[in-house]
Structure 1
Amino acid sequence: MRRSWFKLTACLAAGLYLAPAANSMQWQRPTVSPLASLLAQNPLAAARGNPEEVVVAALTAIRQNRLDEAGRLVDGLLEAKPNYRLAHLLKGDLLMARSQPLAGIGSAPVVDDKLDDLRAEASARLLRYQAPPPAQQAIPANLLQFAPDQQYAVLVDAGRARIYLYRNDNGTPRYVRDFYATIGKLGFDKAREGDQRTPLGVYFVTGHMPREQLDQRYGKRAELYGVGAWPLSYPNDWDRRQGRTGSGIWLHGVPYDTYSRAPKASNGCVAMSNSDISALSPYLLPGTPVIIAGEVEWLTPSAWQARRDGALAQVEAWRRDWESLNTPRYLSHYASDFKSGNADLNTWRAQKQAVNAGKQWAKVKLTDLSLFGYPSAQGDLLQASFMQDYQSSNLNNQMRKRLYMRQEAGRWRISLEGSAG
């Protein structure tokens, strides 16, 4: 499913105005929202409700040479969002189209030194509607298990300039809505401080910085963040394990003098229009998972269930074997590159053999378990977080724990183990 969608979006990106009009379904008119009926009747009302849908409808109308209709849509968009630079670009194209054919977006002599950025934004927004991902029919592979207190999760598809909001329906992710987003100028997979890339991984909202607080702390620089910022927990333990550096990765708004930014325009944060991040903000509570992926893998419900069950079974097997005091079987769950603090696998093995030799019994209980497929350019990973209640004949301990697991010899094995903080 992921590959077929990727091929379709790649084909659609080739031309926004230029594909032959006879190419039917690729250029069908968007009908994905209750606002669709407003597009022709009241463009201003539609633009206030969903500016993105209006710009997509205008692009489609220009493509199909319905210039009067496109003009009404763009005028409504500019009245509702006068700082929307892409709408100004389309207005210029419409004026030029009355005297000569358009060669592509930005053909008119519009004064803007970032035409490529605006074309990229137009392409990203149009692809969302003309080749929509199967968000309501399939489930992202990254969202395998919510903890009971995780009511929502945010999934960033960095390669498609898109953010998805999912809610926890008794452990099953349910699509709520999605938004256009901006990532780092040089793309994703952040490695070091200042590389202008957005990190890949599983992070958590750590707080909220409203504009007033940003103004006090950063002065004029706060203009970059618009209505506010929501810091994320980058770098996490896995990032530090990989030697990644940097900090200050946030979800945030955009300057008030612009409606939105290009798909790649930040210094590494994820940015959204001020209206969109304001709509998302009620769900960005401390502890909300934010998964940033380079590409989303979409699974059918049955395939998702199978992957979820397999991952849960691996965590349960680790718990059961630890509880059994069968040290060799317990240690078989650890990867060859395992680390926990300063301990490698050999040190861990010696410690566990010594500890278990002095115990008569042990009980291990895991609660509040979450499981997320961890995006990584180095291969498939799994992050498991839970509350661990350990009791034994000579020690009782409770802690929040986090495991990072990777595929080794055909099964999930623990590569990193530590406190979840």
Structure 2
Amino acid sequence: MYIRIGSKALAFILCFLFVWVALTGAEKVLIPNIVNISRDSTDAIIIVDKSRQMLYVVKSYLSNPIVPADTFRVTTGKVNGNKEKEGDNRTPEGIYKIVGDIPGSQLPPRYGPLAYVLDYPNFVDRLMGRTGSNIWIHGRNEEITDFQTKGCISLHNHSILELRPYIKVNRTRVIIQDTIKNVTQRDYEIAKLRWKTYLANWKKSWEIGDTSTYFQFYSEKFTTKTYPSLRSFKESKKALERRYPWKSIDISQILVLETKYESEISFQQEYICPEFYSIGFKTLRLIPEKGLFLIVNEDFARTKTRTYIKDAIKNFLREWISSWESRDISKYISFYDSTFSSRGMNLEKWYSYKKELFDKSGKIDIEIEKIQIKSTKKLVWEVSFLQKYSSSIYKDYGRKILQLKNKPGHFKIASEKWERIR
């Protein structure tokens, strides 16, 4: 018995097998669209290859940048190319987020049992004047053939339900591109080094206050909710440079998504200056300009409430005093840095000295007032206050000066000075 297979069907099968081998074969899969620099792991990322009419679900790990999870046959816009305007029947290309879902009960039958809403037009689309709306990933109540939709991405009804476990609304990223290409390990490492160097130079110029270099990373088209123009952004950054003598910036969990039309770099950012400490995720959005990728937008989402240094140091002092008054030598000494020195004593001698006093002193009462805090060196804080000390064997009053190191939650006393007043 022979089964006749049409040329289009055969082409699809061969294409599917080729791509499936590329994404699930023995060789490691590497694509330039997802560059994992230091992210431990990601949620599922959806990749749509318009030329092959395929949707891939992948995850990324630091040890393995592309791990295929699932593959689905899709159909996209009737007209080739990137979407530019309402009604052009093209599927947009770029980096998108799933921002909503619509159950089948609220959909016409032709959209199947479920639809996911993309954030088209995204920031870059709006910046470039692209129009249109209602770009979905949805089901289909009829057989799928290539390039059938008005711009949406459509799957078999059973496929959209199989896709559902991978989706997290307002989190899942969708990369849409005309053609997704596998690259060699060498090419992937080159792309990784390029982005790693780009971000390191951006961070360094910001951290050391080299605004001339820092601003070169930004496009004249730059705008955010806070800054309506690059000019207002520059003015704000220059004012902060005048206000703070230093800043410390650490970035980690770096992931780069890239397409022909835009790139997106997201990472965890820790920022500390003499006044406050913040931690959260920053996203940089870039477009190709003048042979470079330039930043056109950025946003920052805190993962913890901003910590003000003044409050953090006062909390540190309260806990330090509590351990002192309770004569808990193990807890007390934990507030001191390994490099601590005072009155010719290192940390080990300070421990012995304080332990002997704790053993002799009985009840200890400490009161402090007129706390002053200043910082002119990175991650170093001079804290001075008036201190009243009393115990069963000794009383004293004077000014104490502590030098603290590190950031909130990790403060340590590096040195201690005492000036007796009476």
TM-score, structure 1 normalization: 0.62
- Looking at secondary structure, tell me which structure has more strand per residue: 2
1:307 shift after superposition: 0.4
8 A contact 2:95–2:263 mirrored in 1: no
Q: Does 1:363 align with 2:244?
A: no
* Residue of structure 1 in register with 2:17 after alignment: 129
- Residue 113 (structure 1) aligns with: none
Deviations 1:358-383 (A, max 9, x none): 2111122334432101232xxxx321
Does the 8 Å contact 1:207/1:230 carry over to 2?
Answer: yes
Which of 149, 153, 158 is equivalent to 1:270? Answer: 153
- Say which SS state the counterpart of residue 401 (structure 1) adopts: strand
The answer to whether 1:205 aligns with 2:98 is: yes
Partner residue of 2:67?
Answer: 174
1:348 to 213, 223, 233: 233
Deviations 1:80-133 (A, max 9, x none): xxxxxxxxxx6xxxxxxxxxxxxxx4xxxxxxxxxxxxx756643443236867
* Whole-angstrom CA distance in 1 between matches of 2:102 and 2:131: 22
Structure 1 segment 29-48 matched on structure 2, within 5 A:
none
- Alpha-carbon distance, 1:406 to partner: 3.8
Gaps of 5+ in 1: 1-67, 72-89, 91-104, 106-118
Distance between the aligned counterparts of 1:224 and 1:420, measured in 2? 38
Match of 1:226 in 2: 112
Paired position in structure 1 for 2:163 = 280
User: Does 1:248 pair with 2:131?
Assistant: no
Instruction: Tell me the CA shift for residue 299 of structure 1.
Output: 0.9
After TM superposition, the runs of 4+ consecutive aligned structure 1 residues lying more than 6 A away are 130-133
Aligned counterpart in structure 2 of residue 235 of structure 1, from 115, 121, 139: 121
Map 1:272-311 to 2 at 5 A: 272-286=155-169, 287-311=171-195
- SS of equivalent to 1:339: coil
Larger Rg: 2
**2:264 corresponds to which residue?**
383
| Cα distance in structure 2, aligned partners of 1:349 and 1:133 | 49
- Match for 2:193: what amino acid? D
Q: Secondary structure at the match of 2:188?
A: helix
- The SS at the match of 2:199 is helix
More helix by share: 1
Provide the TM-score with structure 2 as the length reference.
0.62
SS in 1 for 2:2: helix
Measure how far apart 1:173 and its partner are: 1.1
Shift of 1:315: 1.5
Q: Is the 8 A contact 1:386 1:402 kept in 2?
A: yes
- 1: CA distance between counterparts of 2:268 and 2:207? 15
The one-letter amino acid of 1:314's match is Y
Which secondary structure does the structure 1 equivalent of 2:263 belong to?
Answer: strand
1:202 and 1:375 in contact (8 A); partners too = no
Instruction: Count matched residues.
Output: 295
Q: What SS does the aligned partner of 1:69 have?
A: coil
Query: Given the superposition, is the C-alpha separation of residues 400 and 234 from structure 1 closer, same or farther in structure 2, using an over 3 Å criterion?
Result: farther
Structure 1 residues 147-156 or 342-351, which shifts more?
342-351
> By how many angstroms is 1:272 displaced?
0.9
Tell me if structure 2 keeps the 8 A contact 1:367–1:388: yes
C-alpha distance after superposition, 1:21-60 (max 9, x if no partner): xxxxxxxxxxxxxxxxxxxxxxxxxxxxxxxxxxxxxxxx
CA distance in 2, matches of 1:124, 1:326: 54
Secondary structure of the structure 2 residue equivalent to 1:290: strand
**Structure 2 residue 31 is matched with structure 1 residue 140:** yes
Corresponding residue to 2:47 among 131, 155, 163: 155
Structure 1 residues 401 and 239, CA, compared in 2 at 3 Å: closer, same or farther? farther
Secondary structure in 2 matching 1:372: strand
Q: Distance in 2 between matches of 1:368 and 1:321?
A: 20
Give the secondary structure class of the aligned counterpart of 2:236: helix
Residue 339 of structure 1 deviates from its aligned partner by 3.4
* 1:250 CA displacement: 1.7
Q: The residue matched to 1:307 in structure 2 has which SS?
A: helix
Q: Distance in 1 between matches of 2:301 and 2:176?
A: 19
CA apart distance, 1:176: 3.2
Kindly state the Cα deviation for residue 322 of structure 1 after the two structures are TM-superposed: 1.0
Alignment of 1:28-107 (within 5 A): 68-70=1-3, 105=6
| Identity value in percent | 25
Q: Provide the rounded CA distance (Å) in 1 between the counterparts of 2:81 and 2:123.
A: 18
Offset, 1:195: 2.5
Q: What is the SS of the residue equivalent to 1:415?
A: strand
Distance across 2 between alignment mates of 1:158 and 1:133? 18
Cα deviation for residue 144 of structure 1 reads: 0.9
Choose which of 313, 318, 327 in structure 1 pairs with 2:197: 313
Does the 8 Å CA contact 2:97/2:172 hold for their aligned counterparts? yes
Amino acid of the structure 2 residue aligned with 1:181: V
Q: CA RMSD in A?
A: 2.8
SS at match of 2:119: coil
Provide the rounded CA distance (Å) in 1 between the counterparts of 2:194 and 2:18: 35
Give the SS at the match of 2:295: strand
Look up the SS of the partner of 1:169 in the other structure: coil
Structure 1 residues 198 and 261, CA gap change in structure 2 (3 angstroms): same
What is the CA distance between 1:161 and its match in structure 2?
A: 0.6
